[in-house]
Amino acid sequence: MTIAVASRSFSRNATLRAELLQRYPGARFNLTDRVLPRGELVDFLRGHEKAITGLETLDAPVFSAVPEVRVVSKYGVGLDTIDLDAARRHGVAIRWTPGVNRQAVAELAILMMIALSRQLVPLAREVGEGVWRQPGGRQLSSAIVGILGCGQVGQQVARICRAFGSTVLAHDIVSYDEFYRAHSVTPVTRAHLLRESDIVSIHVPLDAATRGMIGARELNAMKPTAFLVNTARGGIVDEEALKRALIGGEIAGAAADVFNVEPPADRELLTLPNFLATPHIGANTWEAALAMGRAAIEGLDDPSREIALAK
């Protein structure tokens, strides 16, 4: 059995490489430190029966070009880069383990909430420049935090916010009533969440239903003192609308770890004083990398991790 590891993050992790090579001695790794574009990805996958992928785009042209690939095991939890319908049509099994990076992403979301609430980044920069300014801030403990999407990561964010003492609202198309009761989380409509929250934290997947979910109308519905945090996927937030809302004072600030195009090119947005940007590091911790990588290794041989693809 031949294995190709397209994921650059997996490939540069010495521990994961060693663990995979124990099971599959001939595994091939992407050591370019780049997300492979379609042509290079096809060349890389050619001749292999199974693959581990990360941010690479797997669509109908790729599946058609490498019919020998029968199993794809996902490094990470986002499935927006894989055309699941095309995988089904080409008979490719997609294997995936949800929730393996939830702690790392949740901690970054909490960090962003606190950084925005206390103006941490601009104040730290000012001190380095010789400016001594002490504006007011607010505590997470007194904030109303709205969790938009209460799956694995959203639930972990809710738990941590409740430990701080925050009031937590949640909205999801799936009912998590048992979780809500156990952790004193109040389920509400999306409109109510946007209107009432001091901090809105996004934790939905990127798909046709969520692309552009947060646009000008939604931002205008938020409090002018509110903050928006996105550690989910780029494309969920309309970045142009967000920029206008930040400049116009429709919301107080925002933080994003993900962008519609990465790396982002809108310097005007990136340099706004009330915007905090990080380079898609939500799952980029040692612990999360090992958890995601080991789950991907297991997925190569574990049919129970296969996504049921609709016919």
Written in H, E and C, the secondary structure of 260-276 is CCCCCCCHHHHCCCCEE
- The predicted-structure confidence for 286-302, as pLDDT tens digits, reads as follows 999 999 999 999 999 99
How many domains, in total, are found in the chain? 2
64/124 same-domain check: no
Tell me whether residue 280 is one of the annotated catalytic residues: yes
Q: What percent of the chain has pLDDT over 90?
A: 92
- State the pLDDT at residue 183: 98
Please say if the pLDDT value at position 8 is more than 80: yes
- State the pLDDT at residue 196: 98
229/136 same-domain check: yes
Share the mean pLDDT of the chain.
95
- The predicted-structure confidence for 26-59, as pLDDT tens digits, reads as follows 999 999 988 999 999 999 999 999 999 999 999 9
Q: Which of 171, 203, 280, 305 is catalytic?
A: 280
* b/e map 32-64, b = 16+ CB within 10 Å: eeebbeeeebbebbeebebbbbbbbbbeeebbe
Q: What percent of the chain has pLDDT over 70?
A: 99
75/156 same-domain check: no
pLDDT band at 309 (very low <50, low <70, confident <90, very high): low
- State the pLDDT at residue 235: 94
Residues forming beta bridges with residue 310, ordered by sequence position: none
- In whole angstroms, what is the distance from residue 154 CA to residue 222 CA? 19
Coil, strand or helix at 73: strand
Please say if the pLDDT value at position 1 is more than 80: no
Q: Which of 233, 239, 250, 305 is catalytic?
A: 233
* Domain extent for 178: 102-277
Asked if the structure places residue 46 within a domain, the reply is: yes
Asked if the structure places residue 65 within a domain, the reply is: yes
Residue 210 sits at φ, ψ, to 5 deg, of: -105, -10
120/238 same-domain check: yes
Asked if the structure places residue 54 within a domain, the reply is: yes
- State the pLDDT at residue 311: 47
With CA atoms as reference, report the closest residue to 236 among 265, 215, 217, 220.
215
Task: Residue 187: give its domain's CATH number.
Answer: 3.40.50.720
96/107 same-domain check: no
Tell me whether residue 49 is one of the annotated catalytic residues: no
Helical (H) or strand (E) element with 124 = helix 120-128
- In whole angstroms, what is the distance from residue 69 CA to residue 39 CA? 15
- State the pLDDT at residue 226: 98
Token duo for residue 163? 């430990």
Residues 6+ apart with CB under 8 A from 281: 108, 257
195/254 same-domain check: yes
Asked if the structure places residue 311 within a domain, the reply is: no
Asked if the structure places residue 162 within a domain, the reply is: yes
Asked if the structure places residue 114 within a domain, the reply is: yes
205/267 same-domain check: yes
- The predicted-structure confidence for 163-220, as pLDDT tens digits, reads as follows 999 999 999 999 999 999 999 999 999 999 999 999 999 999 999 999 999 999 999 9
Asked if the structure places residue 310 within a domain, the reply is: no
Using DSSP, how many helices (H) and how many strands (E) does the chain show?
Answer: 14, 12
- DSSP characters for 139-156? -GGG-EEEEE--SHHHHH
Tell me whether residue 90 is one of the annotated catalytic residues: no
Please say if the pLDDT value at position 240 is more than 60: yes
pTM: 0.89
Token duo for residue 298? 């297991």
246/134 same-domain check: yes
Residue 18 sits at φ, ψ, to 5 deg, of: -65, -40
Asked if the structure places residue 301 within a domain, the reply is: yes
Residue 53 sits at φ, ψ, to 5 deg, of: -125, 160
pLDDT band at 158 (very low <50, low <70, confident <90, very high): very high
252/225 same-domain check: yes
The CA angle 160-164-170, to the nearest 5 degrees, is: 55
112/96 same-domain check: no
- State the pLDDT at residue 78: 83
115/230 same-domain check: yes
47/183 same-domain check: no
